[in-house]
Amino acid sequence: MSRDFLIIGGGVVGMAVAYGLARRGRRVSVLDEHDGSLRASRGNAGLVWVQGKGLRMPRYAELSLQSSEAWPTFAEELTARTGVELEYERRGGVDLCFDAAEAEARQEEYRALYAATPALAAMRWAYLDREALREHLPGLGEAVHGGTFSPWDGQCNPLYLLRALYAACRSLGVDYRPATPVDGVEARASGFVAHTPMGDVVAPRVILAAGLGARRLAPPLGLSGEVRPVRGQILVTERLPQGGRLPSPQIRQTASGGYLIGDVLENAGFDTGVTLETLHQLGRRAVAVYPDLARARLVRSWGALRVMTPDGSPLYEASRPCPGAYNLSCHSGITLAAFHAEELAEAIDSDRLATRYGDFSGARFDVQATG
Amino acid sequence: MSDASLRHAEVAIIGAGPAGMAAASRLAEAGQRPVVFDLAPSPGGQIYRQLTAPQVGEEVMGRDYLRGRAMLERFEHARLDYRPGSRVWWAQREGQGTTLGVLAGGRSELWQAKRLIVAGGAMERGWPFPGWQLPGVMQAGAGQILLKQGGLVPDAPPVLVGTGPLLYLLAWQYLRAGCPPRLILDAAPRSRYAALLRRPRATWHAGHYLLKGLGMLGALRRAGVTVKHGLEAIEAEGGARLEAVRYRLGGRWHRVGASLLLTHFGVVPEPQLGRGLGLAHDWHDGQQAFVPRRDAHSLAAEPGVWLAGDGAGIGGALNAEREGHLAALAILSAEGEAVAREAAPLDRARRRDRSARTLLEALFRVPEGWLAAQPETTLVCRCEAVSLGEINAAMAQGAAGPGQLKAFTRCGMGPCQGRLCGESVTRLLAGHLGTTPAAVGTYQVRPPLQSITLGELAAAAVPPEAERP
Amino acid sequence: MFKRLDNAALAGEVTIWLEDQPRRVPATLSAAAAVLWLDGGAGYRDHAAGGRRAPLCMMGVCHECLITVDGEPNRQGCLVPVAEGMRLERQRRSP
């Protein structure tokens, strides 16, 4: 066989792992769906975010912290390799709270989480009231009660990240095939075969990084594929002068000047449309957070489906019945990109995924079901 | 949320050009009271702009412009609800009806339209070439709008470039106004006119258009205006603004000083409304544009939505008027009225016109190969200043569709929302991937269909879910 | 760049303010048309990426006619009819 790995899915997870494997000298093919398919990687807000991750799974919080620390080097290397600027910065971030109850609940959650393991003692965060926040978020509106600040939070341009990964993979000889949807993957004696309208593609090992496609592709390979769509909607404004504000999940200003407004979680099945009610709510919240944005023009909006596991933490699994098949599902593919491109790729390559990241396998859902 | 901010319309019409006006007037005469949303501050669309108080007479404009006065008068006297300065920023199908978010006077209202006629019209094709973003380069339609709006003409002889009837019409109007163009560069090769000999029937149907065109060309030639055919390439040169135009004919480059370059590379349907509503589209090879799909007879795109005029496929002003009329009849027919006799001659005229149109499409077909051959510094996306070189690089890096290309380069993310660059992106991808525009498709269009401020959005009328059908 | 035909209809005129300068313009013009007529050679606005731009289409498509009207930024000048006392400020990059 002419390849070592077949990766199903050319989003930020698949391409980061492809990049990692290719850097280790592996021959990788990536099969990607169409331009108009569900493309979670084009739908997110671009936060490289630590705080609040893994509230139900400290190990995930550790992973986020670890990946955040690896991000600067990861970004530099990608840019050096491809010339694509990622607009990455880590100046800190603030998750906003709009009333006292929310502020209290947030602080309790964080206190509990960041005391949970020794590794998490490295996490730094602080609750700041509105006045104190104004230093980080000039022009903050009265509607904001306060927020949790962490210096480990940052942001990037997620689209340029994907572009850089594409360019890096190309330069490393990754065989990337767009418009090649996979009908199914079969385990055979010698490895795996992916059935596509363009013909069969075979490989000794296969990695599913297919977003919501895991629901269909994972179970036949003995993988859980337990993900469901959770829709987010995002507004984007015209370019505005830089306001020097730290990013928030609710609203952040990109390097090119537009504000991204979002942080909505909806059950809308597989509908990637936007709704009037939500756009309206997002508009109201944006103006409540930064009143000077009342004059800002909304130029774009979109809906996108997060790839959400039952507990929100990543799913990294190695198949037991079909050794050599792996499934990777997460909704934080941006933050975890550095981890995916390095440690995760290494773990898969050396077939240590189950031993090192067993906490993240699908078995944890079975435990929850029976427990 | 107050009930007053949720408005109901039995029939809503978007656009007040010939198609919108004809539909609205006919429905009003049938006793209905259509609501007409117009982006412009006064009716007439582009073709009959300013016609309620014309600034320039027939001696400059010719007869076709002033013909619209009867239409305008009929519209202005009709019992309907005309809403100028209306930005339809939200349009969503709900069953057979459509919900519209309309911003006017700084306030966004929510409208439930039981029936909708989309008559949003056409736009000039965005056609990139080096320097097209320089002040001093405008589209021919813009020149005509300035002429109509205020009798404004170039203060120095302009250069006109491109292909299509509007180019010659504008040149002729400028001539009659005493400011003939310096030079007309036609991108159609002279041999193109041999098409006339191969299609006698279509030529016969197009006779009226052709004679007019020949008349204009004759007048221009007699006045000494230089007209050159077979233009191969064009470049606008200048620092802060246009200073000279370079052009290539027969393989040789020439240069002429100019402070105003007016270009015209055809008109195409304005895409935002059709795409925003999620209507199906097809690539029309003759028109070289995506055209929304609709029933050939009833003009319905979907139950409850009719498409009329150039926004549904380029057919010209008279055709737009007929289609607006037919869309109104289709609605009346759906309500049980007998309209067959009234519709029949309109249908016949449409068919004849269609035949003529195919000839015009062949005569004035845009030079498809130009775009990929432009220098790499040419801006494809003006709003975000994305060059052809960047697009080529992104395609080489694996961007295999308009969405991915947009994500990788920001092309299409600016204020014009991809109106000007969408077609270019489709063409470039088709060329790169060795496929067709139909297979490539175009950007996904999401609200806002027209920009709206966050403050206006925050104050927009949004009834609770429960109240909506 | 543009001049008015001598035999154009005698439309009324209004006074608008272009960067704090009062100017008389035909009342039938859009704000964008008025700016082009008054000062067509200067380049209508600065573009974020550098260079000057001017309206391309005059009909609401190209968005090159963005201008501040009565304090409201980024209005499409070609869709706004001039009115008595209207204040227009062109978009300029800060030095």
| Spatial CA neighbour of A174 closest among A24, A351, A371, A355 | A24
Do B151 and C5 lie within an 8 Å CB cutoff? yes
At residue A141, the pLDDT reads 97
Report pLDDT digits (tens) over B287-320: 999 999 999 999 999 999 999 999 999 999 999 9
User: What is the maximum alpha-carbon separation in chain C?
Assistant: 42
Average pLDDT rounded to a whole number, residues B321-325: 98
CB C1 within 8 A of CB B136: yes
How many CB atoms neighbour CB A37 within 10 A? 15
CB B274 within 8 A of CB B292: yes
Q: What percent of chain A has pLDDT over 90?
A: 93
* Model confidence at B3: pLDDT above 80: no
Residues B281, B237 share a domain: no
CA A155 → CA A46, B183, B416, distances in Å?
A: 6, 53, 27
At residue B466, the pLDDT reads 41
Count of structural domains, chain A = 3
Query: What is the Cα gyration radius of chain B?
Result: 22
- How high does pLDDT run on average in chain B? 94
* Pairing state between β B87-94 and B81-83: unpaired
CA-to-CA distance for A254 and B392, rounded, in angstroms?
Answer: 24
CB B187 within 8 A of CB B265: yes
Most B CBs within 10 Å: which of C24, C30, C57, as the mutation test of the B interface? C57
Residues A265, A122 share a domain: no
CATH for B390: 1.10.10.1100
* Model confidence at B4: pLDDT above 90: no
Structure tokens given for B51? 């016609």
CA-to-CA distance for C34 and C80, rounded, in angstroms?
Answer: 10
Q: A280: domain range? A: 228-308
A50 is a domain residue: no
| Spatial CA neighbour of B14 closest among B142, B115, B124 | B115
* Model confidence at B448: pLDDT above 70: yes
Per-residue pLDDT of chain A (371 residues; tens, 9 = 90+): 589 999 999 999 999 999 999 999 999 999 999 998 889 998 889 999 999 999 999 999 999 999 999 999 999 999 999 999 999 999 999 999 999 999 999 999 999 999 999 999 999 999 999 999 999 999 999 999 999 999 999 999 999 999 999 999 999 999 999 999 999 999 998 899 999 999 999 999 999 999 999 999 999 999 998 999 999 999 999 999 999 999 999 999 999 999 999 989 999 999 999 999 999 999 999 999 999 999 999 999 999 999 999 999 999 999 999 999 999 999 999 999 999 999 999 999 999 999 999 999 998 887 544 44
* Model confidence at B2: pLDDT above 50: no
Closest chain A CA to residue B278: A273
At residue B407, the pLDDT reads 95
Structure tokens given for B72? 């305008």
B322 is a domain residue: yes
At residue B464, the pLDDT reads 65
CATH for B260: 3.50.50.60
Report pLDDT digits (tens) over B112-138: 999 999 999 999 999 999 999 999 999
pTM (predicted TM-score): 0.94
**Chains with 3 or more CB pairs under 8 A to chain C:** A, B
CA-to-CA distance for B24 and A74, rounded, in angstroms?
Answer: 60
* Pairing state between β B122-124 and B267-269: antiparallel
Query: Of A266, A281, A308, which residue is a domain's last?
Result: A308
* Model confidence at C36: pLDDT above 90: yes
CB of B52 less than 8 A from some CB of C = no
C-alpha of B230 from chain center: 25
Residues A315, A214 share a domain: yes
Residues A271, A239 share a domain: yes
Do C73 and A239 lie within an 8 Å CB cutoff? no
Residues B26, B72 share a domain: yes
Q: Going by C-beta distance under 8 Å and a sequence separation of 6 or more, which residues neighbour residue A319?
A: A221, A222, A223, A325, A326, A327
Write the DSSP assignment of B448-460 as a string of letters: -SS-EEHHHHHT-
Report pLDDT digits (tens) over C42-60: 789 999 888 999 999 999 9
Query: Of A308, A328, A353, which residue is a domain's last?
Result: A308
From chain A, the residues in CB contact with B466 under 8 A are: none
From chain C, the residues in CB contact with B55 under 8 A are: 8-9, 11, 26, 28
What is the distance in angstroms between the Cα of C11 and the nearest Cα belonging to chain A? 34
Residues linked to residue A28 through DSSP beta bridges, in sequence order = A5
CB B120 within 8 A of CB B268: no
CA-to-CA distance for A190 and A196, rounded, in angstroms?
Answer: 19
CB B301 within 8 A of CB B309: no
Closest chain B CA to residue C66: B415
B464 is a domain residue: no
Among B149, B382, B420, whose Cβ lies nearest the Cβ of C29?
A: B149
What number of C-beta contacts closer than 8 Å exist between B and C? 145
Residues B258, B141 share a domain: yes
What residues of B are in the A interface, CB distance below 8 Å? 90, 92, 99, 101, 110, 394, 396-404, 407-408, 410, 413-415, 417, 441, 444, 446-448, 451-455, 457-458, 460, 462, 464-465
At residue B468, the pLDDT reads 42
- Report helix, strand or coil for B211: helix
CA-to-CA distance for A54 and A61, rounded, in angstroms?
Answer: 4
At residue B467, the pLDDT reads 39
Domains delineated in chain C: 13-89 (3.10.20.30)
A59 is a domain residue: no
At residue B168, the pLDDT reads 94
At residue A1, the pLDDT reads 55
Residues B328, B253 share a domain: no
CA-to-CA distance for A357 and A344, rounded, in angstroms?
Answer: 9
Report pLDDT digits (tens) over B359-400: 889 889 999 899 999 999 999 999 999 999 999 999 999 999
| Spatial CA neighbour of B178 closest among B213, B154, B212, B160 | B154
A244 is a domain residue: yes
CA-to-CA distance for C50 and B421, rounded, in angstroms?
Answer: 19
A167 is a domain residue: yes
Residue indicated by tokens 């391409």: A15
Among A239, A295, A297, whose Cβ lies nearest the Cβ of C48?
A: A239
Residues B140, B82 share a domain: no
Q: How many CA atoms lie within 13 A of A193 on its CB side?
A: 9
At residue B414, the pLDDT reads 95
Q: Quote the ipTM score.
A: 0.97
At residue A367, the pLDDT reads 57
Residues linked to residue C26 through DSSP beta bridges, in sequence order = C13
Residues B241, B137 share a domain: yes
Residues A142, A15 share a domain: no
Report pLDDT digits (tens) over B209-238: 788 888 898 999 999 999 999 999 999 999
Residues linked to residue B248 through DSSP beta bridges, in sequence order = B233, B253
B395 is a domain residue: yes
Query: Of B239, B265, B291, which residue is a domain's last?
Result: B265
Angle at B409 between CA B89 and CA B135, to 5 degrees: 70
- Report helix, strand or coil for A261: strand
Do A166 and B397 lie within an 8 Å CB cutoff? yes
Count of structural domains, chain B = 3
From chain C, the residues in CB contact with B240 under 8 A are: 43, 51-52
Write out the E strands in B224-287.
Answer: 226-228, 231-237, 244-249, 252-257, 261-264, 267-269, 281-284
Report pLDDT digits (tens) over C80-94: 999 999 999 999 886
Residues B279, B260 share a domain: no
Do A36 and B465 lie within an 8 Å CB cutoff? no
B21 is a domain residue: yes
- Report helix, strand or coil for C46: strand
Angle at C30 between CA C29 and CA C32, to 5 degrees: 120
At residue C40, the pLDDT reads 76
At residue A47, the pLDDT reads 97
Among B400, B408, B414, whose Cβ lies nearest the Cβ of A163?
A: B408
Report pLDDT digits (tens) over B69-82: 999 999 999 999 99
CB of A38 less than 8 A from some CB of B = no
